[in-house]
Amino acid sequence: MRNVIAAALVLPLLFACAQPSQSASGGGDSVSPPSAPPTQGGAQQVTVQLTQTQGGSSAGGEQAASAQGAAGGAVVRGTMSTPTPCHRLTGAVQRAGETVTVTVSAAADPDAMCIQSIGSIPYTATIRGLPAGSYTLRVVHTYPGTGWETATALETRVTAG
């Protein structure tokens, strides 16, 4: 009987932990909310979907990104150094003319017990809603509330098809 009660208490917790969160977390593959690019005054809105890959490593010090153009946007693959491996990454995008800035922000996961070592978290950011053309793509890593300075991880030209 105790096993049945224990299973009834633990299964909902396991199920809740297995569900993707709205922002990427250090516990597994999670995705920022997918969005179909809505329109603003007839123009397509630029959106970003950030996927943080499995777990955070403690092989810190990596701060890099690469990008390639895609149909209607671009794809960025990067690695972000974090104060600990237990951070969640979120993404935002802004377009000003031919310049597209993707901001990847790291926030400590309040639910994680974590070792105190520098982390390195890989991610993929998919940018959608760009009209065909050539753009300057800038990727910025930010660390709100940590005391770490903002870092530009990439600035390059990409062509959206």
List per-residue pLDDT tens for the chain, 161 residues long.
Answer: 444 343 343 333 333 333 333 333 333 444 344 444 444 444 579 999 999 976 555 555 668 999 999 999 999 999 999 998 889 999 999 999 999 999 999 998 888 888 888 989 999 999 999 999 999 999 999 999 999 999 999 999 999 99
What tokens appear for 68 in the block? 């390639």
User: Does residue 5 form part of some domain?
Assistant: no
Q: Domain of residue 67: give its range.
A: 22-160
12 within domain boundaries: no
Structural domains in the chain (count): 1
- Residue 36 located in a structural domain: yes
Q: Is residue 54 part of a domain?
A: yes
Contact 102, 48 (CB under 8 A): yes
Residue 10 lies in a domain: no
**Looking at residue 21, what is its pLDDT?**
33
Would 11 be classed as within a structural domain? no
Q: What is the pLDDT of residue 38?
A: 44
Calculate the dihedral angle through the C-alpha atoms of 112, 113, 119, 125, rounding to the nearest 10 degrees: -10
Q: By C-alpha distance, which of 158, 159, 153, 87 is closest to 121?
A: 87
Between strands 99-108 and 133-142, the pairing is parallel
Give me the pLDDT at residue 61, please. 64
Give the length of the chain. Answer: 161
Number of H helices, E strands in the chain: 1, 11
Tell me, yes or no, if the pTM score tops 0.75: no
